[in-house]
Structure 1
Amino acid sequence: MLLAGPAADRLFSPALMPGGAWADTFGPLVGVGPGAGMGLMLVLAGVAEVIVALGAYMIPVIRGAEELIPDHAQTHEDEPSGAQGAVAPAQT
């Protein structure tokens, strides 16, 4: 996060200006000129998010978390009937 601003200003924006190093490669995708560097950064961040999500899905423990972690209602099944959420009356 701390490197996003300097990377946009010093790397991505100059590289995607007309005649820049990446203008021919990424120009058709995000355009060329002011703002194209930030556009490419957003596209790359989205691709990275998809890769992380697919990588996490490949781990069986993460993929099966819904079955492994009990629901809130299931955690209170061991309590006696009527004790769920009940508050004892105040003594006067």
Structure 2
Amino acid sequence: MKINLLIPCFVDQLFPSVGISVVRIFEKLGHTVDFKQNILCCGQPAFNAGFWDESREIAVRIDYRSEPNWRYRTDPGSRRARPS
């Protein structure tokens, strides 16, 4: 199965081993993991701080619909896996 993995900025900067471990687990289970290196922020930190317009500008860059063949998309943060 192909998995589109988003490693958000707070995981990348504060807990990089979590992102690495998630990739290793999926690969050990036999899945193919695609990690878009140009998308490192979902806008959640800005949103949580009340910068809603700024967070929206960041979030719209993440377009999971551009990859219709992926069955699941996930991240190691608060949004969890969900079917496409």
Which one scores higher on RCO, CA 8 angstroms, separation ≥ 6?
A: 2
TM-score (norm 1): 0.20
Q: Which has the higher strand share?
A: 2
Q: Which has the higher helix share?
A: 1
TM-score (norm 2): 0.22
